[in-house]
Amino acid sequence: MTTAIDPEEVRKELEAKLLLDTVRVTRPTGTPALDPATGLLGEVPADLVYEGPGAMLSGHGQVTAEGIVGKQWLDDTVSWYRLLTPLSAPVPARYDRVEVTVAHSGSAATGGRVWQVLDPAEASTVELVRVTRLDEITPPS
């Protein structure tokens, strides 16, 4: 006998167990200004697209997440990182920048790291959370 999966139940479980971090998505709106005193570029001007619950998963994190919920629900991807956000969050656009501002885990290695959206969020007929493929940007030092 096959048991049907209740997408709403799985969505609530994923949000409660995985979307524990606070993520920020910003959209670059211009080019950084040059500081004549230091010769360094300043911050990239950007608009806030989303800040709220989410999770950043590497390829390894996807395997761990599958263990938490007891089933495989993400396929392999070309990109190494994925951003998970609630379905109520806006769809990030290509080249948006992503940061983890508060990590639920005290040992998270996401501090100071920035990712760039590769494509708009993945789409399917049954969505549980918004999944967006990312590429890591090396932040200026």
Q: To the nearest whole percent, how much of the chain has pLDDT over 70?
A: 79
Is the pLDDT at 30 greater than 80? The verdict is yes
CA 134 – CA 83 distance, rounded (Å): 7
Tens of pLDDT, residue by residue over 83-138, are 999 999 999 999 999 999 988 877 667 878 889 998 877 777 778 889 999 988 86
How big is the CA angle at 70 (ends 109 and 108), to the nearest 5 degrees? 5
Of the spans 31-45, 65-79, 97-111, 125-139, which averages the highest pLDDT?
31-45
Q: At residue 63, does pLDDT exceed 60? A: no
Q: What's the confidence (pLDDT) of residue 78?
A: 46
Residue ranges of alpha helices (H) inside 19-93 are 59-69
CA angle 22, 111, 114 (to 5 degrees): 80
**pLDDT reported for residue 28:** 94
Domain 7-30+42-137 = CATH 2.30.30: no
Judge contact between 25 and 98, C-beta under 8 A.
yes
Comparing 30-34, 63-67, 109-113, 126-130, which segment has the lowest mean pLDDT? 63-67
Crossing angle for the helix pair 7-18 and 59-69, nearest 10 degrees?
A: 120
Q: What is the C-alpha separation between 97 and 74, in angstroms, rounded?
A: 22
pLDDT given at position 96: 95
Q: In whole angstroms, what is the distance from residue 25 CA to residue 20 CA? A: 16
Highest-confidence range of 27-41, 60-74, 121-135, by mean pLDDT?
27-41
pTM for the full predicted model:
0.76
The answer to whether the beta carbons of residues 14 and 87 sit under 8 Å apart is no
Report the alpha-carbon distance of residue 96 to residue 115 in Å, rounded.
8
